[in-house]
Structures are given as structure tokens and as C-alpha cells.
Amino acid sequence: MILTKKILCGLCCIFMILETAHPQDLLDYSNSLKYADYLYKTHQYNLSSVEYERVVFLEPTDTLAKLKLVRSYRYMKNYTTALERIDNFFPHSLDYLPEAFSDEYIRIMLYENQYQEASVFLQNNMTLNGVAKTEYQLGILVMQHQWSEAKHFADESIDLLAKTEKFESLYSLTANGLSTQYKSPALAVSLSAIIPGAGKVYTKNWKDAIYSFLFVTTFSWLAYNSYADNGLSFNSVLFGSIALSFYSANIYGSYRSAIKFNEKINQLYKKEAEDILLNDQGSFRY
């Protein structure tokens, strides 16, 4: 009997609490925004994007939530959706995007390697400040490894050197690019045509150079010995064909090795330019 009374008393207390408390909808705008901000700050961008979509739906005028939604997609490397959301938020003209959204838009295009589109966007944009535009324009030239054009553009904007660390770093990167010794595919081919593997030594591909030299010289020697002993025979033709095949592959491989060597250097420059230009530190942060 006592236990029954305690249970009934407890149920009554719970009922009274529920009656007196102000009910809250956990999925309303305020709570959704708090949860989205928490997910964003803890770098759970796949979840924060979902929550910010809800927030923007509930409150279409929340510009900051829209910005964080776009950033969430960018951090997830979902660049296509990020650009689509900006287009949806500002359907009339990209030329007058709010400054923070303009910054996001140009960043995303650069991550997508849309350099021509990015240049056109910068020329037409009316909200980014002049310093940011200049940094991005120089960065676009550097990312495309257009060293002479980048140096000319940087020299015309030299007054920014004392103003921004980004510009100074990009300017220094441009100077390094101009002094870089790229490998000549034509020279690599010529060297390998004279000495098998020499073109790959030139491009610092030592392992393949040794293999090329050994295979070509070994089968050439076998073909020569077979011809010297038996004249034109099956073995001499076979060994000669293999030697010629390796010799041709060695020449083409040297050409490709020079191309890959240059591409690797350019990728390193591109990565360094991205680290300088697209680092979020010092950009629009909320």
C-alpha cells in the first residue's frame, strides 16, 4: 500500500512538472541553430550541413547560417553543392555577392581548378576589396605556373608587398618558379637515344635508368653474338626485336619521365600556393 502511494505520488509530481514547464520544440529554429553551430565548431561538417539546411529553411533571412552551410560543404570538399547553394541564395547576380560569399565562391572555384572562370569572376565582382582581388589574381597565375605573367603582374602591384603577408609569399613563390630548372623532354629523348637510360638519369629516375640500360645492352649484345655466330637466324632476330622494343620504350619512357618530373614540381608549387592563398586563417571567420 505504501509502495503504491509512492508510485502515485511520483507520477503526480512528474505530471505537475510537465504541466508547469514551458514545452520546447527541439527542432525549432533556435535549437537547430545551436546544434548546427556546435557541429560546425567541432568540425562535424557532414552533420552541420544537414542542420544548417534545416536552419536556413526555418529562417531564410539568416545570412550567417547560409555562409556556414556553404563552408560546411566546402570543408567536406563537396564543391559542386557549395556553388549551387550560393547560386540559389543569390540568384540575380554573382557580381554583387556579399563579400564573405564572394570570398567563398572564388575559393571553391580555385579548389575546382576553374581558373578561367575565377579570373572572370574577379574582374566582374563588385564587393571583394582590391587587396583580396590582387592576391587571388596573382595566385591564379601561380597555380597555372604562368611565371612570367605572374612576375609582371606582381611587379605592377608591388605596393602591396608591405601590406599583406599572402602577397609577399606569393611574390616569393613566383620568383622561385621563374628560377626553377625544368627538364626538357626533347633533351631527355636525345640522351636516351644516344645512351639507353641516360634520359632517365637526366630526370633523376635512377632505377628505371639502370633497368633501361641493362635490358637494352643485354639483348643488343645477345643479338650481336647470335648474328656473329650464326648469321641472320631466329635467335638473332628475336634478340634484336626485343632490344629494339626496349630501346624504343626507353626513349618514350624518358620523354614521359621529363613530363612527370615537371608535373611533380608544378604540383608542389600549386599546393604551396593553395596553402598560402586558401588558408582560412585571417579570412572571413564567424
196-227 pLDDT per residue, tens: 989 899 999 998 889 888 888 888 888 878 87
Q: What is the pLDDT of residues 34-87, one digit of tens each?
A: 999 999 999 999 999 999 999 999 999 999 999 999 999 999 999 999 999 999
DSSP state of 114: -
Mark which of 125, 150, 181 sits at the end of a domain. 181
- Whether residue 64 is found in the same domain as residue 154: yes
- Whether residue 146 is found in the same domain as residue 268: no
- Whether residue 229 is found in the same domain as residue 216: yes
pLDDT at 3: 46
pLDDT at 26: 63
Query: 12 lies in a domain?
Result: no
Give the torsion sign (CA, 159, 161, 162, 165). Answer: positive
- Whether residue 173 is found in the same domain as residue 214: no
pLDDT at 23: 47
Give the torsion sign (CA, 46, 48, 54, 60). Answer: negative
Which CATH number is 87's domain given? 1.25.40.10
- Whether residue 212 is found in the same domain as residue 137: no
Query: 284 lies in a domain?
Result: no
Q: Are 146 and 117 in contact (CB under 8 A)?
A: no
Q: Which of 32-41, 152-161, 173-182, 252-261 has the lowest mean pLDDT?
A: 152-161
C-beta neighbour count of 69 within 10 angstroms: 28
- Whether residue 38 is found in the same domain as residue 133: yes
Q: What is the largest CA-CA distance in the chain?
A: 117
Mark which of 181, 210, 226 sits at the end of a domain. 181
Query: 164 lies in a domain?
Result: yes
- Whether residue 37 is found in the same domain as residue 135: yes
- The C-alpha atoms of residue 277 and residue 134 are separated, in whole angstroms, by 11
- Whether residue 122 is found in the same domain as residue 232: no
- The C-alpha atoms of residue 45 and residue 87 are separated, in whole angstroms, by 20
- Per-residue b or e along 221-235, where b marks 16 or more CB atoms closer than 10 Å to that residue's CB: ebbeebbeeeeeeee
- Whether residue 123 is found in the same domain as residue 137: yes
Q: What is the percent of the chain where pLDDT is above 90?
A: 65
Name the amino acid, one letter, at 276.
I
Which structural domain range is residue 95 located in? 29-181
Query: 97 lies in a domain?
Result: yes
- Whether residue 44 is found in the same domain as residue 68: yes
Mark which of 147, 181, 215 sits at the end of a domain. 181
Number of domains in the chain: 2
Query: 250 lies in a domain?
Result: yes
Query: 83 lies in a domain?
Result: yes
Q: Are 188 and 252 in contact (CB under 8 A)?
A: no
Query: 236 lies in a domain?
Result: yes
- When pLDDT is averaged across residues 93-121 and rounded to a whole number, the result is 95
- Whether residue 140 is found in the same domain as residue 252: no
Q: What is the pLDDT of residues 123-165, one digit of tens each?
A: 999 999 999 999 999 999 999 999 999 999 999 988 776 678 9
pLDDT at 162: 67
- Whether residue 158 is found in the same domain as residue 54: yes
Of 47, 48, 54, whose CA–CA distance to 26 is shortest? 54
Query: 8 lies in a domain?
Result: no
- The C-alpha atoms of residue 235 and residue 215 are separated, in whole angstroms, by 16
- The C-alpha atoms of residue 147 and residue 175 are separated, in whole angstroms, by 8
- When pLDDT is averaged across residues 101-121 and rounded to a whole number, the result is 96
For residues 256 and 7, which has the higher predicted lDDT (pLDDT)? 256
pLDDT at 215: 81
- The C-alpha atoms of residue 49 and residue 285 are separated, in whole angstroms, by 17
